[in-house]
Amino acid sequence: MSKHAALFRSLNLGDGELAVVVKDCIDIAGYPTVAGSPALATAAPALRNADVVDALLLGGCRIVGKANLHELAFGVTGQNLFTGSPRNPLYPHLVPGGSSSGSAVAVAEGLVDFAIGTDTGGSIRTPAACCGIVGLKPTFGRVSRKGASPQDSTLDCIGPLARTVAQIEQAMAIIAPGYTGVENEDLSFAVIRPGFVDPDVMSMFDRALASFSEEDLSADLRYLELAHTANLALIGHETFAAYGHLLASGMLGEDVARRLAAAATIGQREISEAERVRILFRQEVDALLDRFDVIVTPTMPCFPLALADAGDAGAALRMTALVRPFNLSGHPAITVPVITDGNAPIGIQVIGRHGEDEVVCAFARRLERSLARSDNRKEATR
C-alpha cells in the first residue's frame, strides 16, 4: 500500500510501458474483488479478468495495483476506515472525493500514467475535481462493464482519470472500441449556472471561462435538481439489490451501512418517479445539445469538503449535485481542473451528446490549453 493509501493491492501485471491502476470493484483474475469492504475480505479470487482489464493488458499497459475506494463504491468522500483513506496529495486538508478515491490519488501523486475508476453518481468526476486532475465518465455503455461490481446497473460507467486530457484520450483509445480523437476546434457551447452554486465557486468558474472565450450563452436545465434526486433513488435501489445482504454481516462501515439501510426503504413509487424524471431530463439535455455541441457547468457547486467535515452526509452529497444528473441521462461528461488563487480546486464539467465522447474530449482539450495559457500569464505578472 502506498504511503497515502491509494493502492489496496500492489500488482505487476503485463509488460507494457503505461502504468495503470484499476479500482478494486473491477475483477482481475486470481485476486479477490474486495470493493474496500471488510464484508468482502474473504471473497474468492475472480476467475477471469473484467473486459476492461483485458483491454488494458492488450493495449500496452502494466497494471501496478488495485486502487482503493470508498467502501462498496457507495460514498462521496473517499474515506475508508477498513483499507485506510487515500490522502489528497495536492490539497491534504480536503477529502480526495469518492468513490474512486484511490484512482484519483494515484494519478495526482504521479504513481501512474492513468487510472481506471467507475462513475455511478459522479465517482470519477468528483474525486478528479477534488484532486485537481481530469476525469471522464464515458457515454453509458461505451466501455464494457463486464466484470465490474455491482454487476447490474443502469447508471454506472467505467472510465479513466489522468493528469491531462491527452492521457484521457490515450486511455479511451485502449478501453473504448472505436474511439478515435477529433480535432474540431470550432465547437459551440451552452453554460449552465444553477442558483445553488456557491458564489465563490461561480466567480472562479466565470473567470476561467472568460479567459477561454468571449462567447457565453447561458441556458437552463429545469429538471437538473430533480435528476439529482432521481439518481439518488436509483443508485440506492440498485446498490441495495447488489449489496443489501451484507447488512446482516454487521461488518460494513457505519456510513455505508446507514445508506444501505435507508436504501431498503425506497419503494416502487420512488423508482417509477425516478424513471419518469430520467426520460424528461434526457430529453431536455438532448434538446439543448441539438442547439450546441456541448454543455458546460461547474463540476461541483461547492469546494471539496474539509477532512474535518467528511462525516457530514448532506454536505458530501451536495458535492455531487452537478455530476449525478448525467449518470441518470447517460451523457458523456468530463471534468477539467482549474488552478485557483485559494487553497481549494474547482473543476469545469463538459457534457456532450450520447456517443460523442470524442467531441467532449476535443472541447476539453481546447479548454485545458486556454486555462494553461491563463495560468502562465498569471505567473508572468507576479
Query: pLDDT (tens digit, 9 = 90+) per residue, 164-222?
Result: 999 999 999 999 999 998 886 789 999 999 999 999 999 999 999 998 887 889 999 99
Residues whose CB falls within 8 Å of the CB of residue 228, separated by 6 or more in sequence, listed in order: 320, 321, 324, 325
What pTM did the predictor assign?
0.96
Cell of 241: 439489490
Asked if 181 and 361 touch (Cβ cutoff 8 Å), the reply is yes
| C-alpha closest to that of 103 among 235, 7, 201, 208 | 7
Check residue 186 and give its pLDDT.
85
For 50, list phi and psi in degrees, rounded to 5.
Answer: -60, 155
- Annotated catalytic residue: which of 23, 100, 101, 329? 23
Check residue 3 and give its pLDDT.
53
| C-alpha closest to that of 135 among 161, 115, 109 | 161
Check residue 214 and give its pLDDT.
78
Residue numbers of the chain with a pLDDT score lower than 70:
1-4, 184, 374-382
Is 249 catalytic? The answer is no
CA dist list (Å): 196 to 301, 302, 344: 7, 9, 19
What is the widest separation between alpha-carbon atoms in the chain? 60
- Annotated catalytic residue: which of 123, 149, 153, 329? 123
Is 66 catalytic? The answer is no
Q: Give the 3-state secondary structure of residue 382.
A: coil
Cell of 351: 457534457
Check residue 380 and give its pLDDT.
43
d(CA 285, CA 283): 6
- Annotated catalytic residue: which of 2, 99, 101, 149? 99
Check residue 343 and give its pLDDT.
86
Is 23 catalytic? The answer is yes
